[in-house]
Amino acid sequence: MSLFSYETVKSLLFKLDPETAHSIAGLGLRALPLCPPAWNCMIDRYFVDDPVLHQRLFGRTFRNPVGLAAGFDKNGDYVKGTPALGFGFTEIGTVTPRPQPGNPRPRLFRLVEERSVQNAMGFNNKGAYHMVKRLKRLRFFDYPVGINIGKNKTTPERETLNDYETLFKTFRDYSDYIVINISSPNTPGLRDLQNEAFIREVFRIGTGLTDKPILLKIAPDMSAEQALELCRVAVEAGAAGIIATNTTVDYSLTPNAQKFGGISGTLLTEKSRELFAAIGKEFHDKTLLISVGGIDSAEEAYRRIRMGASLVQVYSLLIYEGPKLIRDINRGLIRLLKADGFSNISEAVGAEWR
């Protein structure tokens, strides 16, 4: 085991409680761009940049399709560091209009045997104003960034749309795309907003305030029929894409689960894949799709791409595998694409249904 290998780093971080370890890892990412030799070394080692993987989406070039999912960088503090982990784009947030502390600790748990994570964070973040200050510093940083937005916990239900309106106005000039998060299980009543009336109204407001692409992120804990109907409503209302899926509250997946919060990682793989397959079959040629949930290999990422995903996202498995996972997924995708006779990843998107 090398002194500087991820296994060494992980062995140290896993001696700490998960939230403390996350904060330390974040500090390292924030410091990395301040040391160009280290940053360049990481880029050379982990960032895969091959024309086979290039896509033009949302008016931006994505040099590889593997992104860091929302939840890791809640405040936009680490964006400059994440390309060094191999990611082709980053989704920051979830951010709320006002700062909020989130739920009481402990609220983040490792399910080590299952290579999974359970979180009940509750949209802890420093608020929209802090994030805008961070994003202003990225003005000349050429890297795709999405922003995941959500309501404050203390906002009354009747004022929920006001929160999203505030966030659309705040970030319309500071992102490549915006994601409406109404699928986290950790804000009371949030998933209740996954209904036709709310989706139509929030997209009406959003598309009237910004020309940035607006996407909807959905939960895995619904039937395929329910998910397809929500996606249909969202696309009709102006959604530029769908992200599937958020974390699951299916605690029957493991006897080691807490009875609160959402589960992600390997335990979510099959559930997320099955729901995404239904969505991909119906919508791969109608809107842009991003798949997230238990993606742990090039083969799994390629399945999602062939099912209709233009992009995939990883978070929980990064904790267990480190940046080597991102590099190996991208390298493996190149191999799999060429083996199937594709000259570019865009040709493989939705190939399962053609």
Active site residues: 184
| Backbone dihedral region for residue 265 (phi beyond 0: left; psi -120 to 50: alpha; all else: beta) | left
Consult the annotation and say whether 246 binds a ligand.
yes
Consult the annotation and say whether 94 binds a ligand.
yes
CA distances from 299 to 99, 110, 305 (A): 39, 24, 10
Consult the annotation and say whether 74 binds a ligand.
yes
Consult the annotation and say whether 330 binds a ligand.
no
User: How far, in Å, CA of 44 to CA of 121, rounded?
Assistant: 34
User: How far, in Å, CA of 61 to CA of 142, rounded?
Assistant: 9
Q: What are phi and psi of 137, to 5 degrees?
A: -80, -10
Neighbour count for residue 82 (Cβ, 10 Å): 25
Consult the annotation and say whether 148 binds a ligand.
yes
Consult the annotation and say whether 181 binds a ligand.
yes
Consult the annotation and say whether 245 binds a ligand.
yes
User: How far, in Å, CA of 201 to CA of 275, rounded?
Assistant: 25
Consult the annotation and say whether 71 binds a ligand.
yes
Consult the annotation and say whether 120 binds a ligand.
yes
Consult the annotation and say whether 122 binds a ligand.
yes
CA distances from 236 to 200, 223, 287 (A): 8, 20, 10
Consult the annotation and say whether 162 binds a ligand.
no
DSSP string spanning 13-42?
Answer: HTTS-HHHHHHHHHHHHHHGGGSHHHHHHH
CA distances from 108 to 64, 180, 198, 218, 251 (A): 29, 23, 30, 21, 15
Consult the annotation and say whether 88 binds a ligand.
no
Annotated binding site for substrate: 74, 119-123, 181, 186, 246-247
Annotated binding site: 70-74, 94, 119-123, 148, 181, 186, 217, 245-247, 265, 294, 315-316
Annotated binding site for FMN: 70-74, 94, 148, 181, 217, 245, 265, 294, 315-316
